[in-house]
Amino acid sequence: MALFVDGPACTIDDLTDQDSGLLDVALDNGINVTTKLRLAQEEIRTDLQLWLLKPRPALPMPWAPVLHIEQVIVTPPLKRWETMHALAMVYRDAYFSQLVDRYQAKWQEYSRLTRDARESYVASGMALANDPVPRAALPVLTSTPGPQAGGTFYASVAWVNAAGQEGAASAAASITIGDGNLMVVAAADAPANAAGYRVYAGTSPAGMYLQNNVVLPAGLTYLYIPGQVTQGPRPGSGQNPDFVRPMARTLLRG
């Protein structure tokens, strides 16, 4: 699962899965849907930070760590909350742009669904990682002479922490090289807690597989040999949570 801070949890495709007419509405009203995705995430981030800052009951746990927004992992309830909120923002802007009743009805409905999604997330709890690994940046691809046929090749990378937990893989980068050359993969912008990185590569975005069973230290590059690995793990979406912090109000008995 990706970290919340990796970027918007939902995509435009997720929004259109919920509302097939969304893009037409956005086009007719000059609404940038990508911007709404970002704003929805930012507003939810504020809400999550307030939860993290809430004083916890005075229980005998002096060892309890201070939690940070960077530790929050996206779960299905959190993704749905973000999706519904982004849809509500699009129809809110559409309504105030033209004052069309059907836009107001959809704005109100998605606002209701946003509240329902938020309550579902609160009930499920906040999933967190002890040692969060951020999504990797796009890898840097170059070429070097080698006895192979050329072509177009694709690669993605993912950082791994000391516990072996892998963060969300980067988007796929591509390079076209001539015959007699090999692709060289380098990971950029290593996080402070990275023990190394894994490389996923192949001849198509859907055909990228794990190339190195042993993580590669930051600063070193990987030489991709086409056809050497043709099956195995695919790029992942991130680490699983280490624990879940309850968010619902708790009544203490005394």
Beta strand 209-210 with 181-186 is unpaired
Closest CA to 208 of 178, 185, 231, 177: 231
- Under 8 Å between Cβ of 71 and 128: yes
Q: What are 2's two structure tokens?
A: 């990706």
CB atoms within 10 A of CB 63: 5
Question: For the chain, which residues score pLDDT lower than 70?
Answer: 55-64, 248-254
3-state secondary structure of 232: coil
Per DSSP, helices labelled H in the chain are: 12-18, 22-29, 33-53, 76-98, 101-124
Measured at the CA of 138, the angle between CA 229 and CA 145, to 5 degrees, comes to 55
Identify the pLDDT of residue 78: 98
Report which of 39, 31, 19 is spatially closest to residue 85, judged by C-alpha positions: 39
Which among 156, 136, 153, 135 is positioned nearest to 234, based on CA atoms?
156
The bridge status of strand 194-202 relative to strand 181-186 is unpaired
| Per-residue pLDDT tens digits for 211-246 | 999 999 999 999 999 989 989 999 999 999 999 999
Angle at 88 between CA 85 and CA 93, to 5 degrees: 130
Distances (CA, A) of 46 to 7, 8, 39, 92, 220: 14, 14, 11, 20, 38
pTM above 0.75, yes or no: yes
The pLDDT score that the predictor gives to residue 64 is 57
Q: Which of 172, 168, 225, 238 is nearest to 200 (CA)?
A: 172
Tally of CA atoms within 13 A in the half-sphere of 82 that contains its CB: 27
